[in-house]
Amino acid sequence: MKWFGRYGSGAESPRSRSRSRELRIDRVALTDVALDPVRVIAQAAYLQLGEFAALSRAAAEAPDLESKSALATAAGRLLAKHRSLVGALERRGVDASAAMEPFAAPTDRFFAMAAGANWYESLTASYLVGGLLDDFFARLVGGLEPDGPELARLLLGPSGAEEIVSILSAATAGDPRLGSRLAVWGRRLVGDTLLIARSALPETVRTPTGEARVEPILTELMADHTRRMDRLGLTA
């Protein structure tokens, strides 16, 4: 079983791995796992709604007006992603609400946990969780016909990352204790986030053999997670 199929230019050198997220996703996508397109798009859509809710709450609780306005704008981008994914469901002739329903309760529980104990933890979670799940779901949807590449680019498009990084890196630079608390929080988040990611894989892949095959993806997801921790000034 081959986890990553190539599409787009197969001639790219290994060096291109280090290039932008968008280029990378054009190259790799899960094409040979039998995914239910409606299921995976619906889960991605509901996750974006959860990310939107979390970030708009963080915007409402922002201690200064510049952060508030910046985070609200960022939340708007997540909402737009949600809407586009709902559009992809509707194009497939399904009732989007009904399709998302099975994911509502577990996703809500996950985001209740990821809200953390304070504003900084919420923001850290928005960035780290959003980044990891967007990366992962971009790979899942990337192989879907006919709009996979478009949906993958959508998921990897502008999110709230720039705004959050700018707020949090400034905060941790001036407060090493905050930085070390958020580093612990960032490490704690990974496990639950990967469980959400895993829940998107078909049952048939959730076996020891299947899990072994998913290793390369996990390795890449973890490397990108570490890069995000770095950008926040946190030790992974």
Using the rule CB under 8 A, is 101 a contact of a second copy? yes
Rounded least distance, CB 171 to a second copy, Å? 18
Q: Which of 72, 165, 194, 218 binds a second copy (CB under 8 A)?
A: 72
Output the six-digit token pair for 31. 């094409």
The answer to whether 29 and 5 are in contact (CB under 8 A) is yes
Output the six-digit token pair for 202. 């078909």
d(CA 183, CA 121): 10
Q: Reduce the DSSP state of residue 31 to 3 states and report it.
A: coil
Using the rule CB under 8 A, is 92 a contact of a second copy? no
| Identity of the residue, 59 or 168, whose beta carbon is nearer to a second copy in the bound complex | 59
State CA 2 to chain mean position distance.
23
Query: Among the candidate windows 24-32, 78-86, 122-130, 199-207, which touches a second copy by CB under 8 A?
Result: 78-86
Using the rule CB under 8 A, is 39 a contact of a second copy? no
Q: Which residue has the tokens 């910046």?
A: 70
Using the rule CB under 8 A, is 100 a contact of a second copy? yes
d(CA 66, CA 93): 41
Upper half-sphere CA count for residue 196 (Cβ side, 13 Å): 30
Four-point Cα dihedral 200, 88, 53, 122, nearest 10: 50
The answer to whether 197 and 136 are in contact (CB under 8 A) is yes
The answer to whether 64 and 71 are in contact (CB under 8 A) is no
d(CA 53, CA 202): 27
Using the rule CB under 8 A, is 68 a contact of a second copy? yes
Q: How many chain residues interact with a second copy (CB under 8 A)?
A: 26
| Identity of the residue, 102 or 216, whose beta carbon is nearer to a second copy in the bound complex | 102
Using the rule CB under 8 A, is 162 a contact of a second copy? no
Rounded least distance, CB 214 to a second copy, Å? 29
Using the rule CB under 8 A, is 200 a contact of a second copy? no
Using the rule CB under 8 A, is 76 a contact of a second copy? yes
Residues 102-121 that bind a second copy (CB under 8 A): 104
Using the rule CB under 8 A, is 60 a contact of a second copy? yes
Using the rule CB under 8 A, is 82 a contact of a second copy? yes
Note the residues at the interface with a second copy (CB under 8 A): 49, 52-53, 56-57, 59-60, 64-66, 68-69, 72-73, 75-76, 79-80, 82-83, 86, 96-97, 100-101, 104
